[in-house]
Amino acid sequence: MSSNAIAVLDEIHSGNLPGFDASNAGATAKTSLKRVSQALDAAFIAGANIEALLRARTRAVDRILVALWESCAGSADGVCMIALGGYGRGELHPYSDIDLMILCQHDPEQYRDAIERFVTSVWDSGLQLGHSVRTVAACLEEASNDITVLTNLMEARVLAGQSNLMSAVTNGISTANMWTSNEFFHAKLQEQNERHDKFADTEYNLEPNVKSSPGGLRDLQIICWIIERHFSVSASAAFGVDTLLTSDEQVLLEEGRNFMWRVRYALHMLSRRPEDRLLFDYQRQIAELWGLTDDGERLAVEQFMQVYYRWALTIGQINDVLIQYFEQHLVDADNSTIEAVNERFYKQQGYLNAVDLDIFRSQPTAILEAFLICAQHGDIVDIGARTLRAISDNRDLVDQGFRDDPTHKAMFIEFLRSPYQITRMLRRMTRYGFLGNYLPEFGKIIGQMQHDLFHAYTVDAHTLELIQNIRRFMTGNYEEKFPVSSRVARRLPKKELIYIAGLYHDIGKGRGGDHSELGAIDAELFCRNHGLSERDTSLVTWLVKNHLLMSAVSQRKDISDPDVIQQFAKHVGDQQRLDYLFTLTVADINATNPTLWNAWRSSLLRQLHTEAKRALRRGLENPVDKNEWIKETRESAIKLLEYRGFTPEELEDLWLQRGDDYFLRERAEDIAWHTEAIASHHDQRTPLVLAKHTNDSSVANATQMFIHARSRPHLFSLICATLEQLDLSIHDARIYGASGGMTLDTFFVLDSSGETIEHDAQRTRHVISELTTALTESAKTNGIATRRTPRQFKSFSIPTRAQITQDHDKGLSILEVISPDRPGLLARLGRVFVEFGIEIQTAKIQTLGERVEDLFFITDAQQNPITDPDLCQQIEAAIRDTLDSQVNASA
């Protein structure tokens, strides 16, 4: 810390401010405040005690406000100046609002001039003021009707004027006169629940609000307010109530509060405004500010956020216990029936309680027994507060000896086989320290984030959400939304195996290397240690190792190709593995990000599961013959079209230029639809654009945009640009060359939100009209979309990766593009394709959070694969330059 900063801090502590003259407060306040802020920021960067810094800023502001008050309203009788909110608590951050109340004995109108002069002088000093003017009577009336006003008054602090006015308010708002402890508790609990709901009731938001998110500063303040109200103690003494908080909890709350204070201070300092959102850019800046560096396995920002999430979890845990404790023992306590469960536990009000809280210290097995009992009894809603606290206090006993005990291993497997509340109890095990100790490998991923928009939760939260999804499938809670997954999940013979696979599927993250391989090793060790059979161990290990397989094949391969299905079925091996993998995959995708699951992904997985099941039933030694498949499709299409007046000879002529891929990838119904529409469309100058909605799994619940138009440069780019301007996202594209210089394209689209547009007939007509206009040769070429790039996307500057490989069996080249998602990306890619004479045969479009992972199956203009290494490098470089320059420009 600089000598100047030390000198300024010493001045503040001694009651003086650098450069401040109380007799000329209005002229010197602004400059003085600037010097104070600079000194406090320097001290913060140097690691000074955060509480001391907040109190110092508070004292500095007190000094200035009192001087300004004295110069403007000091002579007024029957009035006083009160500090409220964070300022009242003495917790001023760099850009915190200054909340003041001017309390008047009589009508405030008679103090108008003095108050207006004071308020103007405060604003002139550079302080952000929030103020109100009330009489004592008005204060009491508002407090009786509004819990927020009451809470503010509980934290009030007199700065200047007649303090007896505030004493009258303090007496008037006591529990004897309004808002009993019971009423106050329930109002604050409702307030907290509503606030938590805004943040999905999790501490693990990607960009948490350090003040308002679960586990943030407001959760700490709720604890203080409830204690203050119930025990009639001051805010400063709230954490020291020994009858309510253990010594460990008091220390944790203070350390957690100081950590959150440091984060909030840093946010204000870096943003230069009252910013409480821990946005991605600030996460990186704070990690750097605190000296964290990338370590080869985890980014510095991921290390910082893991610390943040663990503190949020700790604060949330203590808040949780105290809320429940108040509910059970202080506020709503009653004499409901006590029912013995066994000699160690009893049940009351639906809660499981320990007969003797020392049982966990003397018999650590009781820790696991408590969770097991809850999972075996449907009439137990939760573990009681004091029992939860005792479990947390004794979690250190869950050590290697505990883990090695055969009794505990058997109990844990029995827990996973239980019928009730498995996910809730796993969350309890995580929150109160048991699971991270019993499975140390799981403990390492608690609070571990992945710095991207694709993974919406930390690894542990994602894992428990995945298991919750599986439970929903099995209990029928998701029957309407996931009918296939629910039916498949309920057929699984051993439910505990998929729970184990779920627990371990991502457990290898954060260590470097392939997390699937690392997780499979850990899963195999767990299974062997817990006495599972070789068969069950093999299944769990295989599931963990291959948990990404089904998603990758469905979204990155052409699953209309019998060879792809055959290879996948051969890798899976049997129906049981297929069903377990399908259930795990659907649960995993839905637990990764709420916006990731859509009709497209759903139908692709259903199609892959169905086709693989058929392949397994047929026998892996009996693969589908491609030529036979093509023949059957053609014959089926001919039968459909004969009803429409076509002869086989006419159809053979119409299909003359269509390649085998068309009949391999398209359904007979769609071929008939295409053919009849083209035959009826006689004006070749006008493009033919049609739309078709279907929920058939083989076309993946998306809207098919069928386009038959004259082939020309930039056609793909033009189509992509138009669809994006219509707020549609492309998920699959099939491009077929046709006779006479015409192209036949099918694009599968959804709304940009991932929803189908099938129920919006007017919008569908508008899309057809706009595409037709855009593709008319005389029409002016549409520009590339220029919509603003979302703020969050700009926080991720991964460089574009483009790589061309060869599919020798199909005679195609495969271009893989991984890049930050930006408006107009596909249209820009289309222009590169034109520049190099690239023909697209098909495309698989996939958006994962802030990045896209697209596959293009391509040839040159003569329908040959692009094999020249130098040309491949030129194409790859052009794609990287085009897309990265767009990203840099938007940033």
What domains lie within the chain, and their CATH numbers? 3-179 (3.30.460.10), 182-330 (1.20.120.330), 445-618 (no CATH), 626-680 (no CATH), 687-890 (3.30.70.260)
CA atoms of 862 and 841, how far apart (whole Å):
12
Cβ-count burial 289-314 (b if 16+ within 10 Å, e if not) = bbebeeeeebbbbbbbbbebbbbbbb
Mean pLDDT, residues 667-680: 90
Q: In 645-727, at which residue ranges do the beta strands (DSSP E only) sit?
A: 688-693, 703-710
Mean pLDDT, residues 194-207: 79
Nearest alpha-carbon partner for 515 in 526, 503, 507? 507
Report the percentage of the chain scoring pLDDT > 90.
52
Output the six-digit token pair for 383: 């573990």
Containing 576, the helix (H) or strand (E) segment is: helix 575-592
CA atoms of 279 and 210, how far apart (whole Å):
10
CA atoms of 686 and 690, how far apart (whole Å):
13
pLDDT in tens, 712-749: 777 888 888 888 888 888 888 888 765 567 888 888 88
pLDDT in tens, 45-97: 999 999 999 999 999 999 999 999 998 877 778 899 999 999 999 999 999 99
Residue spans of alpha helices (H) in 272-419 = 280-289, 300-325, 359-362, 365-376, 385-393, 400-404, 406-416
How much is the pTM?
A: 0.84
For 669, counting Cβ atoms within 10 Å of its Cβ (0-12 exposed, 13-18 middle, 19+ buried), the class is: middle
Give me the pLDDT at residue 299, please.
Answer: 87
Q: Which of 354-368, 665-679, 833-847 has the lowest mean pLDDT?
A: 833-847
Give me the pLDDT at residue 443, please.
Answer: 94
Q: Over 80: is that where the pLDDT of 247 sits?
A: yes
Which one-letter DSSP state was computed for residue 810? T
Q: Over 90: is that where the pLDDT of 519 sits?
A: yes
CA atoms of 366 and 377, how far apart (whole Å):
16
Q: Over 90: is that where the pLDDT of 883 sits?
A: no
Ramachandran sector of residue 510 (left: φ over 0; alpha: ψ -120 to 50; beta: rest): left
Give me the pLDDT at residue 656, please.
Answer: 80
- Is pLDDT larger for residue 699 or for residue 604? 604
Mean pLDDT, residues 158-184: 93
Give me the pLDDT at residue 725, please.
Answer: 86
**Cα 345 to chain center, whole Å?**
38
Length of the chain counted residue by residue = 891
Helices 668-680 and 626-642: crossing angle in degrees, nearest 10, is: 50
Q: Which of 11-25, 170-184, 247-261, 400-414 has the lowest mean pLDDT?
A: 11-25
The SS3 assignment for 505 reads coil
